[in-house]
Amino acid sequence: MNNEKFEKIKENVSELVMFLKAMPKGGDLHNHSLGGGYSELIYEKAILNNSYYDLGTHKFLDENEYQQSDKNQDIKTIEALERENMEDYLNNYSVRGLKNKKSGADHFFNTFVNVLSTKVKEEELVLEVLKRNQLENISYVEMISDCIPETLIEKFENSFEIQEDFNLNEMKEYCEILEKNITDENILELKDFLNKRENYLKKNGVENIEVGYMPYLRRVSSDLKTFFTEAFLFILSSCLDPRIVGVNIVETEDSLKARRNFNSHLKILKYLYLYFQEKFPNKKINLSIHAGELTLEREALENMKDRIISTIFLERDKNKREKVITKRIGHGVSIQWETFETLEVMKKNKIPVEICLTSNEIILGIEGENHPFNLYKKYGVPMVICTDDEAVSRSNIVMEYLKAVKRYDLNYLELKALIKNTLEFSFLEGESLYMDGDYKTMRAEFSGIKTIEELEKKTVENKKLIFSNKKLKMQLELEKKILEFERNY
């Protein structure tokens, strides 16, 4: 495979899709399980859990919910739904029904509430996403998912009672209260939960693909006390079990509550980050945060001017920005309303932006030259191509790469570098295969590898090193898969 050959393939979109599907693509680092269930597949679960469908609200009802409803004429049995109203279902569980696919934020976000009414289980969604990724030659998925047992969250919340409003000056005392929950029993509950999910996935044919979970904090639907409690539990969990690889924050940044609480959210996270860093000095605490998923249509310039840089330092006050904390930024679309300093900080500290092209097109109405893809590229900020909510968007990782290649006229080397970024900037444990992020220079033990045979030989020689460094192991496997792909294509 050389660039000339790739440029020829680029001229034919369908052939490019086939090429990109076959190409090993490393990981997808930004995707939500709740947005990953295709309506055609979720439907089969929905009808096992429910007996009715409400055409007025586009939600499913089980027998109990039906008995408590007003039983109005919009509520149909599943038989009637299948006979006459499947369009209503299909159109309201993804952007399939969105006529103008630009700026469909409301339609997009409503689909999540609808999906919840199907009562599909989290593990079923995780399974669907992983199996699809297997089909697309993805070897690692970092998933924003419900991955902390609900009962554990409740225990932490119930133990934390305060008489007055949440006070940012009392976080030390709050931590002392919550710390009492760090018991063997609770740690076992977390591990048991993750073991069960792991077994379920294995039993259902998930193999040759790794998953790392990210629990998510909610900037709109949580009050500060809940946000603090969950942040405490989620960061703690990431220090206790390697399957929890990091923590994320979700929900729209431009809603009134998210805007008002922005500074408090940063303060809480910064405090807890430092708190757990001291408690677990050998652990890496990984935060990836949605930031700058904004446009002038949704937010004022004043609120966009420092959104990303404040999120990186978890600090709004310019004079107090000392150490970068957040390791990846989700979306970062509003970057052009910040200063060049943000781009420099991202480049210098190798903080990538998770690029979600289809999602930005639908939610924000931003695409093509209006998207900051080329700005990030020009200023050397690393990027990773991600899906965000592939099923709601009616997309997948192949289509995200297709858009990147076609719209920004990427050559083969640039495509390969983007793919390698997905493991380099993942939260996988261990050291990197590459020297200082330079994909042309592998670390001494592996330097000079040109063929599959050489790679296999060095892999055997360095078994011990590979065993203790998961990131390096997966990067080596990707190198091998790419060599095989290039040899055969």
Smallest separation, CB 303 to Zn ion (Å): 19
Q: How far apart, in Å, do the first and last CA atoms of the chain sit? A: 7
Smallest separation, CB 386 to Zn ion (Å): 8
Smallest separation, CB 73 to Zn ion (Å): 37
Nearer to Zn ion, 254 or 414 (CB): 254
Smallest separation, CB 402 to Zn ion (Å): 20
Pairwise CA distance, residues 233 & 182, whole Å: 9
Contact residues for 125 (Cβ-Cβ < 8 A; gap 6+): 33, 34, 36, 37, 42, 145
* Phi, psi (degrees; rounded to nearest 5) at 212: -125, 135
Smallest separation, CB 134 to Zn ion (Å): 22
Q: Is 360 exposed, middle or buried (0-12, 13-18, 19+ CB in 10 A)?
A: buried
Pairwise CA distance, residues 326 & 354, whole Å: 13
Among 388, 390, 424, 477, the residue binding Zn ion under the rule CB under 5 A is: 388
DSSP state of 425: T
Binding mask 399-438 for Zn ion (x = CB under 5 A): ----------------------------------------
Of 97-105, 107-115, 386-394, 475-483, the window that binds Zn ion (rule: CB under 5 A) is 386-394
Smallest separation, CB 8 to Zn ion (Å): 35
Of 42-50, 296-304, 388-396, 437-445, the window that binds Zn ion (rule: CB under 5 A) is 388-396
User: Comparing C-alpha atoms, which of 106, 118, 111, 122 is closest to residue 50?
Assistant: 118
Smallest separation, CB 364 to Zn ion (Å): 12
Take residue 69 and report the two structure tokens written for it.
């409803």
Separation of CA 396 from chain center: 13
How many of the other CB atoms lie within 10 Å of CB of 422?
Answer: 26
Under the binding rule (CB under 5 A), the answer on residue 293 touching Zn ion is no
Query: Do 31 and 389 contact (CB within 8 A), yes or no?
Result: yes
Pairwise CA distance, residues 265 & 268, whole Å: 5
Residue 248, SS3?
Answer: strand
Nearer to Zn ion, 130 or 355 (CB): 355
Of 300-308, 383-391, 400-408, 481-489, the window that binds Zn ion (rule: CB under 5 A) is 383-391
Parallel/antiparallel/unpaired status of strands 383-385 and 434-435: unpaired
Nearer to Zn ion, 355 or 398 (CB): 355
Strand order in the sheet with 353-355: 288-291, 328-331, 353-355, 383-385
Contact residues for 284 (Cβ-Cβ < 8 A; gap 6+): 427, 429
Pairwise CA distance, residues 434 & 452, whole Å: 17
Nearer to Zn ion, 361 or 388 (CB): 388
Smallest separation, CB 77 to Zn ion (Å): 35
Nearer to Zn ion, 181 or 426 (CB): 426
Of 159-167, 203-211, 381-389, 466-474, the window that binds Zn ion (rule: CB under 5 A) is 381-389
Query: Do 311 and 271 contact (CB within 8 A), yes or no?
Result: no
DSSP state of 287: B
Nearer to Zn ion, 124 or 388 (CB): 388
Positions of E strands within 15-58: 27-32, 52-54
Smallest separation, CB 32 to Zn ion (Å): 6
Smallest separation, CB 42 to Zn ion (Å): 19
Interface with Zn ion: number of residues (CB under 5 A): 1
User: Comparing C-alpha atoms, which of 88, 378, 34 is closest to residue 216?
Assistant: 34
Nearer to Zn ion, 355 or 472 (CB): 355
Nearer to Zn ion, 241 or 388 (CB): 388
Nearer to Zn ion, 388 or 477 (CB): 388
Nearer to Zn ion, 272 or 392 (CB): 392
Query: Do 148 and 234 contact (CB within 8 A), yes or no?
Result: yes
Smallest separation, CB 106 to Zn ion (Å): 16
Nearer to Zn ion, 421 or 469 (CB): 421
Nearer to Zn ion, 174 or 401 (CB): 401
Smallest separation, CB 156 to Zn ion (Å): 25
Contact residues for 121 (Cβ-Cβ < 8 A; gap 6+): 45
Of 164-172, 175-183, 237-245, 385-393, the window that binds Zn ion (rule: CB under 5 A) is 385-393
How many of the other CB atoms lie within 10 Å of CB of 88?
Answer: 18
Of 95-103, 112-120, 172-180, 382-390, the window that binds Zn ion (rule: CB under 5 A) is 382-390
Query: Do 121 and 385 contact (CB within 8 A), yes or no?
Result: no
Separation of CA 23 from chain center: 21
Take residue 72 and report the two structure tokens written for it.
């109005």
Nearer to Zn ion, 141 or 178 (CB): 141
Q: Which residue is nearest to Zn ion (CB)?
A: 388
Smallest separation, CB 30 to Zn ion (Å): 6
Of 224-232, 237-245, 380-388, 406-414, the window that binds Zn ion (rule: CB under 5 A) is 380-388
Site residues (CB under 5 A) for Zn ion? 388
